[in-house]
Structure 1
Amino acid sequence: MRRLPPVLLVVLLGIAAVALAQEGGGRLRETLRARAAAPPVVSPRAGEAIDAPGDYRVELMHDGLSREYRMHVPRGYRRGHPMPLLVALHGGGGDMDWQADDSKYGLISAAERRGFIAVFPNGFSRLPGGRLATWNARRCCGPARDRDVDDVGFIRAVVADVSRTLHVDRRRVYATGMSNGGMMAYRLACEAPDVFRAIAAVAGTDNTSRCEPSPAVSVLHIHALDDDHVLFDGGAGAGAFRNPAAVTDFASVPATVEAWTHRNGCRAPPRRIVDVPGAHCDLYAACAQGSKVQLCVTDGGGHSWPGGSKARGAPSQAIDANDTMWAFFDSLRGAP
């Protein structure tokens, strides 16, 4: 293997430090352990037909870059019977294997239980194996933003590729994401409303610069009051890397929700639909084109995925992000 020049090595180590600081210092070690324990995956070529349930890893060329995505096809999949598709985006400094780790996010189990195809794209990375990747969510984050990587085009290409290989219900294509991945989901809602019916952002606010979605895209936002990375009231918290070259002065949760209720033409005040110890959810339902905006707030859990687990800290168990998300998506069925 050819040795890296010293200057390039320093740059790569700096990128790694930024990403690790953004999402937690134990991320790389946990990612490597998760990869070692992950079930085997099949690696078909892009566009190659897939008929069997299982786990797949696909390489896709886009905009001159070799990109990858993982896919889980649940046991209930049958060709000829269209199935919903969920694009799940990892946080900054993570990768597709991290987001697909069922012990942390439970999305594979949710796909089996709810009956949807789960797709895990990998963000932009300069490191071997796509580790410590970021998404270009406009004002965040890291190398993907700084190089203006075409992540919207890449994810469009992923959905198109999956739709060629599997029978996807194109009216039920959704995106979700954690942190930087949630921010990227907001960018998809802004710039790919023809693809995504709804998004669910967890611990990541809307940091886009321009947004005029048509048709309207429904939005679920889940956030902890004590998030120390992406502060509820805006800004990069003490848990985030404070170098502006790495992250940004994040938009607040209230500003994000206000922006989307305005974009979606929500006319009535919100209705509280969940009120349990440690969490509540408010729903704006009288919105244009049958769209909805919902905000779920947990009292604790910090920068994490409610109902999941992580190496450091304890995510809120007051609500389950996966169940909340899929109930929200299911509520849109029958809308225009």
Structure 2
Amino acid sequence: MMYRLLCLFLLTATHAAAVETCHGDTACQVGDRSYHVLEPDGWDGETPLPVLLHFHGWARQGAVVVNHERIAGATKLRGVLLVAPNGLRKTWDFWTSDTDDVGFADQVLADVALRYPIDPERIYVSGYSYGGAMAWRFVCQSGNDTTALLAVAGSIRQTEDCPQAPREVRHVHGTDDTVMAFPFGPDGDTTYPVALWRAKYDCNGATPRGDWSVEPFLTLTRVEWTDCANGRVTLDTHPGGHFIPHGWIGRQLDELLGRIPTYP
């Protein structure tokens, strides 16, 4: 009993110190770099937390992510710990495999695990725009066994050879995106944005899942690949431009966590 009380005391003390030194707008230091972290609403301080590692867009920082309604607003309500690394010069080096940013993000996750009890079976990796591309690069190369990729309007080249992959991929992109242009395939193929993962998982035919929306002004069309040797791929497309669709991150987390999808 004394040992269990001591462990509880140490966990509580470690958590209290973590919150005191860095949380929300106050960044956590990892060497000469940093990241932001945001706890979910109502967390009891003990239950292991799923993690959403989210890479910010170009010219942003992690402080934007932990205050973003469509990102932090989703994690806070679903018991998910939000982790938002800060890119050097407010950007990410995702263009080739020769990048230090993957190793930095690995260090961030290791540091988070020292500060919080995390659920290693529920590590989700996300990002928007340049951050979406960085999320692709991370799951392509990281030494971490990530559960799912949740990428928004950004990717690496579909012809790249990834040495590893997450257990599941979910991607959303607007066909009218002119910032990180929608990667149409041959003959205007709208399933090409996830061609890399379909090949990596050795997936067969696509299954249309129909349209869905959480706001009346934007309809998303879903296609899934479940007949794969490894993994699973989900693609949502919409006719809009370069943005995070309302409710998209929340819906993905709900589905991954086995919850009934809700909005917000």
TM-score (norm 1): 0.63
Q: Show CA shifts across 1:165-218 (max 9, x none).
A: 10000010011100110001111111126331111110102238430215x531
Structure 1 SS opposite 2:125: strand
Aligned residue for 1:124?
A: 88
How much has 1:329 moved relative to structure 2? Answer: 2.5
How much has 1:258 moved relative to structure 2? Answer: 1.6
Aligned residue for 2:234?
A: 294
* Aligned positions, number: 234
2: CA distance, partners of 1:266 / 1:193: 24
Identity %: 27
For the pair 1:82 / 2:21, whether they are aligned, the reply is no
Contact 1:201 1:221 in 2 (8 A): yes
1: CA distance, partners of 2:258 / 2:93: 30
Contact 2:34 2:86 in 1 (8 A): yes
State the one-letter code of the partner of 1:165: R
State the one-letter code of the partner of 1:136: D
2: CA distance, partners of 1:253 / 1:156: 32
TM-score (norm 2): 0.79
Structure 1 SS opposite 2:206: coil
How do 1:1-336 residues align onto structure 2 when only pairs under 5 Å count? Answer: 49-51=14-16, 55=24, 56-61=26-31, 66-102=32-68, 105-125=69-89, 133-139=90-96, 149-192=99-142, 194-207=144-157, 209-213=160-164, 216-233=166-183, 254-275=191-212, 278-289=219-230, 291-300=231-240, 302-307=241-246, 320-330=247-257
Greater strand fraction, Structure 1 or Structure 2 = 2
Aligned residue for 1:129?
A: none
Cα distance, 1:149–1:263 mapped onto 2, change above 3 Å: closer
Unaligned runs of 5+ in 1: 1-47, 126-132, 140-144, 235-251, 308-319
2: CA distance, partners of 1:226 / 1:331: 32
1: CA distance, partners of 2:157 / 2:172: 15
Structure 2 SS opposite 1:111: helix
1: CA distance, partners of 2:252 / 2:111: 24
How much has 1:257 moved relative to structure 2? Answer: 1.1
How much has 1:79 moved relative to structure 2? Answer: 3.8
2: CA distance, partners of 1:256 / 1:195: 23
Unaligned runs of 5+ in 2: 1-12, 260-264
1: CA distance, partners of 2:99 / 2:243: 26
Structure 1 SS opposite 2:88: coil
2: CA distance, partners of 1:327 / 1:261: 23
2: CA distance, partners of 1:185 / 1:217: 14
Contact 1:100 1:120 in 2 (8 A): yes
